[in-house]
Every structure is written in C-alpha cells, then in structure tokens.
Amino acid sequence: MRRRPPKKALGGNVGTLLLGILKDGRSYGYQIVGMLNARSQGQLRMGEGSVYPVLHRLEERGLISADWVVASSGRKWKYYYLTPRGRRTLAVTLQRWQALSRLMDAVLGGGTASPGQSAGGRSIRSSRLAGRRPLRGGTRRGWSDGSSCGATAPAA
C-alpha cells in the first residue's frame, strides 16, 4: 500500500496542480476537485475547502478566469479556464519542476550529473532558473522575475 504524502509536502503547489488540471480545458470547481483526486490515484484527498481558495487566488492573479453558466435546471456553475498568462506560467513552472526532478534523480538516484549540472547535462547556472530566486523563501508570493502561480518552485 502506498503512503499518501503529508499535506506539508504540497508546500503551496496546489496552484500548479490546478493549472495542470485546467490546461485540458474549462471545468467547474467540484469537477476540478474530482479530477485532482482521480489523477493523483488516491494520493491526494483534496476537498472543496482546500481547492476553492486557491482557485480564487489564481483568478485574482490573472492566471485563470471564469464564466458563469446557467444549466437547464437553473443552477449556476462557475467554469474556470486558463488565461494566456496562466499557460505561460504553467510552462515555466513545469520546466522548473523537471530541472529539480533531474537534479534530485542525479543526487539521490546515483545519476551522473557533475557539480553545477542538472541530470540532463545542462548547466544549472545557464538554465532558466539562473538569476531567479523565490521571494520570501519560496512562498506563494512568487519569483523575483514576476512569475507566480501560487506554487513554490525550486530555487537554483
């Protein structure tokens, strides 16, 4: 049986997960929660109380937008979708995570990356991470270059 990661392990990265869910198209909140839980194969058990505040922060930052849709029953549903800025932010964040993953694999998995190199052989100094540092220790406030998606991304 796999153990679930502790909630602290998410470290502010729920925003990135939500952007990843929305890259596939528009969705309403309850559906987003279901997709997040399903894609994590039971490793995350996020509820609406955890997801909606993050959706609202992403919307305030202009990374997602929303439209109200009235169903035939008369019920209103708020459908969220990625903005162009949200797509760009997700792409940059994914690159950062991939660089961190390669580095962790190289160090922990006995890979062959040399000092100052990612596992892919790219110089860490010359990567997209160079010159960027998390503001306030990598909290949800963002990165020194102005990008942010409510996620704590790896620092170079």
Q: Give the three-state DSSP class for 80.
A: strand
Q: In this predicted model, which residue has the larger pLDDT, 128 or 35?
A: 35
- Cβ(46)–Cβ(86) below 8 Å: no
pTM of the model: 0.66
Q: Tokens 């922990």 appear where?
A: 108
Model pLDDT for residues 41-78, shown as the tens digit of each residue: 888 888 888 899 999 999 999 999 999 999 999 999 99
Q: Give the three-state DSSP class for 87.
A: helix
The listed CATH number (3.40.50.720, 3.20.20.70, 1.10.10.10, 1.10.3720.10) that belongs to domain 7-83: 1.10.10.10
Every domain of the chain and the residues it spans: 7-83, 85-137
Burial letters for 43-62: b for 16+ Cβ neighbours within 10 Å, e otherwise? ebebeeeebeebbebbbebe
Model pLDDT for residues 30-48, shown as the tens digit of each residue: 999 999 999 988 888 888 8
Model pLDDT for residues 80-96, shown as the tens digit of each residue: 999 999 999 999 999 99
- Whether 7 has a pLDDT exceeding 80, the answer reads no
Query: Could you tell me where the DSSP H helices lie in 40-111?
Result: 48-60, 84-108
